[in-house]
Amino acid sequence: MRYQYGSDGGSVVTDAAGNAVVDRPGAVWTARTGGSQVTDLLTLAGTATGGTITTDSRGRIAFQGPDGVTATLWWDGGDGTRWAILPTETDRIARGQVETYGVLASTVGEPGGPASLDPTGHLEQDQLPDLSASYLARPAGGQSGDALLRGPSGAPYWGRLTAGTTSPWAALEQQAAPRWIAHRGAALLAPENTIEAFRMADQLNADALELDVYRTPDGGLFCMHDTTVDRTSNLSGNTASLTVPGALRGRIDAGNWFANSWPSDLRIPLFADALAEIGNHIPIIVHCNNAGSGALAVAEIQRQELDHAVLIMAWTEAELAAARAAGIPSLLLDADGVLSGQTYAGLLAAGTQYLGVDYSQTSNTTINAAAAAGLRVIVYTVNRRSHFAALPTTGSVWGVVSDDPWYVRGNSQMRTSDLFGAGTFYHGMPGITDAGDYRGFFQSPSWFGLDASGTAMASNGGYVSCMQGYLGPLPSTFTLDFDFVIDTSDYATASMQVAFSVGDTQYDDDTTGTSAKPNGYNLLVRTNGTIDVYRVTGGTSTSIGTVATAAITTGTTQHLRIQMTATQIIVTRTNIAAPNSVTATDSTYRGGLYPHFGVRDTKTRWANVAVT
C-alpha cells in the first residue's frame, strides 16, 4: 500500500482482512532500506512526533511532510516493510497557497481571517490571522521543496529533511577527501566518452565522472575529447567543425583503438543523451573544450533541470561565465596550478571554487597553497598507485581524476587469476606511453595478447607491454603460472617477457632510466628457447641467469612457472623435458612487485594466469 502525507484523501493502514488499523505506531525513514530515522516531523496538529507516527482513528498516517518536490519518505510499521509516502494533491495545493500568500486562501473572509488581500495578492501585516498549525507561513530562507520542521526552541521552521533532498553535487561535497572521478567515464576500462563508459562508471559506483563536450557550428554539443575526431571515431577532421548530423552519422570505432573485442559502431553521444542517461545518477564534471561550449552546456543542463548534479570545467574563465551566472559549480584547469594573470583569491571572488591541476606538472607545495587559499583542488589524470601515493596526504587533494579510479584507489576486486575470458580490460591494465592507446588484444576463449611483430611497434624498437596490476602488489614469495603462445616471431631471439617492477610504474624495455624502466626483474623467453633473467637497477639491466632450452614452435601452447623465493628466482618451462629451468640467486627486490607482460618483435598471447 502507498501511504500519503497528511490525512485528506490519504490511504489508510489496513490489516489482512482490509480493516483499518488504528493507533498503530510506525517510524518514518529517509530511505526504503537503511537511511536515517526522521525525528523532526510535526503532526497535522502542529506537535512534534519524536520520530514515531501513530495512525489516527481512521487508520490514516497524519503528519506534516514535504511537498511534491521533496524526495519520498518511508513508513515502517514494525514488520520490516517500508512503504513509500507521497504528498496528497490537497497538501500540494495548500502549500502552494501558503508560499504565495502566507495563509490558506480559504480563510479569506472567514471569521477571524483576513478581510482581503492587498493589490499584490499578499496579506496586510495587521490582518494576518492565526494560521492553521498544519500550514505555517514559511520564514525567510525557505524554498520550494522544504519540509515544516520544529527547531530546538520549539518554533517551526522550513528546512531540508532527508538525504534524498541533497543534490548529487552537494552529496559529493559531503564525502571525505579525496573523491574519485572516472575520467572520460574511466577510459582504461571502457571506450572513452561513450554511453557505455558512462553507464559503467555509474554501475561501479564511481564518486563522479568526467566527460568532454564540443560545441558544433550548428549549435549542438557532443561528447569527444580530442581536437580532431580521427583517433576515436570512423570520421576525420576537426572536432569543432563537426555538425550534429555529422556526429550522428559517425561511430566510435572502439574495436580499432580500444580493444579488438569491442564493437566499432558505438554511437557518438550527444551531450543531451549523456545527461538523460546518467543525470541524477552520479555527479558529472563537464569539460567544455571550445568557445561557446560552456554556455551551451549550461543551457542544456538547465533544460534537463540538472543544475544540482554537475560542475562545469574549462581551461578559460570565459567558458565558466555561464556556470557562474547560473550558480553551477565551476572549475578552472591550470596544469601547474600556479595560475597566470589570476590569483587564488581572485578566482574565488569571480565565483569559481575548484582548481584542476596535472599531477605530473604541479607540486605538492602548489596543491597545498591552493587548498589553503580555499580552493578545492582536483588532480588529474592519476592512473597508477605510485603516482597517487606521491600526492599530499594533508587533505589538500579534494578529488582525483583517473582512467581507472577503482584500481588506483585500491578498492577494486584484486585477483590471483586473470579474467581474460571477459574479453576486455580489467582493473590495473595500463599500457606504456610509447605504445599510445595500444594495450593488447583478446582472443576466444580466454586469451590476452600483445603484438609487436613486423612493424606494429617499430616506433618503440619493437617492444610493448601491459601491466597486470590486478595481481599486485605481489607478496615477497610467490609462484606465477601461465600458458603462452608465440604466434609470430620476427627472428630467433625475439621474446615473450615478464617484468616485475618495484611499484606500479610502467615498464618499457626499450628505454633506459628509472622513469620507464623501474627497479625489479625482467624475464625473457626467446623463440629459440633461451630463458634470460635480468635484474634491473637504476634503469640498467644486468644478467643474473640464463639457460638454453628447446626452441619454441610458433603457434604451440607453452607453460611457464616463475617461482620467487626469499633468495632465488626459478623460471621453468614445465611442458618440456630438461634442460627446462634456470635458477637465479638474487634477493635484491622482494614484496610490492607488480607484473607486466611484454613482447619484443613477437605476437604472443597468455591464458590461465594464476598466482599462488
pLDDT tens, residue by residue, 527-550: 999 999 999 999 999 999 999 999
Average pLDDT over every residue of 149-157: 49
**For residue 514, what pLDDT is reported?**
73
Asked if the model's pLDDT at residue 161 lies above 50, the reply is no
**For residue 488, what pLDDT is reported?**
97
At 145, the amino acid letter reads G
Q: pLDDT-based confidence at 598, cuts 50/70/90?
A: very high
Asked if the model's pLDDT at residue 116 lies above 60, the reply is yes
User: What whole-number distance in Å separates Cα of residue 531 and Cα of residue 8?
Assistant: 83
Asked if the model's pLDDT at residue 120 lies above 70, the reply is no
Lowest mean pLDDT among 148-157, 258-267, 495-504: 148-157
**For residue 142, what pLDDT is reported?**
45
**For residue 194, what pLDDT is reported?**
98
For the chain, percent of residues with pLDDT exceeding 90 = 67
For the chain, percent of residues with pLDDT exceeding 70 = 80
User: What whole-number distance in Å separates Cα of residue 202 and Cα of residue 169?
Assistant: 14
* Residue 203 Rama label (left phi>0; alpha psi -120 to 50; beta): alpha
Asked if the model's pLDDT at residue 41 lies above 80, the reply is no
Beta strands, E only, 196-292: 208-215, 221-223, 251-252, 266-267, 284-288
Highest mean pLDDT among 16-30, 390-404, 513-527: 390-404
Higher pLDDT, 434 or 88: 434
Q: Up-side HSE of residue 260: CA atoms within 13 Å toward CB?
A: 13
| Residue closest to 208 by CA, chosen among 290, 281, 292 | 281
Torsion of CA 405, 425, 225, 299, to 10 degrees: -60
Average pLDDT over every residue of 567-571: 98
Average pLDDT over every residue of 211-227: 97
**For residue 90, what pLDDT is reported?**
41
Asked if the model's pLDDT at residue 553 lies above 60, the reply is yes
User: What whole-number distance in Å separates Cα of residue 491 and Cα of residue 452?
Assistant: 12
Tell me how far CA of residue 93 lies from CA of 96, 99, 101, 135, 339, in angstroms: 5, 10, 12, 11, 51
**For residue 94, what pLDDT is reported?**
42
The per-residue pLDDT of the chain, averaged, comes to 85
Average pLDDT over every residue of 217-232: 97
Higher pLDDT, 45 or 578: 578
Highest mean pLDDT among 23-27, 32-36, 105-109, 356-360: 356-360
Q: CB of 126 within 8 A of CB of 132?
A: no
Higher pLDDT, 157 or 30: 30
Give the residue ranges of DSSP H helices in 304-356: 321-326, 344-350
**For residue 133, what pLDDT is reported?**
35
Residue with cell 581524476: 401
Average pLDDT over every residue of 214-219: 97
In eight-state DSSP terms, residue 469 is G
**For residue 93, what pLDDT is reported?**
39
* One-character DSSP codes across 432-495: -GGGTT---EEETTTEEEEE-STTTTGGGTTEEEEE-GGG-SB-SSEEEEEEEEEEEESSTT-E
* Joined grid coordinates for residue 431: 599500457
Asked if the model's pLDDT at residue 131 lies above 80, the reply is no
Average pLDDT over every residue of 578-602: 97
Report the largest interatomic distance among the alpha carbons of the chain, rounded to a whole angstrom: 108
Length of the chain: 612
Asked if the model's pLDDT at residue 335 lies above 60, the reply is yes
Higher pLDDT, 538 or 107: 538
Q: pLDDT-based confidence at 86, cuts 50/70/90?
A: low
Residue with cell 552537494: 170
Asked if the model's pLDDT at residue 371 lies above 60, the reply is yes
For residue 537, the cross-strand partners are: 540
Q: pLDDT-based confidence at 54, cuts 50/70/90?
A: confident
**For residue 282, what pLDDT is reported?**
94
**For residue 143, what pLDDT is reported?**
47
- Put simply, whether the predicted model's pTM sits higher than 0.95 gets the answer no
Average pLDDT over every residue of 462-476: 96
pLDDT tens per residue across span 376-416: 999 999 999 999 999 999 999 999 999 999 999 987 667 99
**For residue 163, what pLDDT is reported?**
39
| Residue closest to 301 by CA, chosen among 278, 318, 317 | 278
Q: pLDDT-based confidence at 128, cuts 50/70/90?
A: very low
Give the residue ranges of DSSP H helices in 150-237: 168-174, 195-203
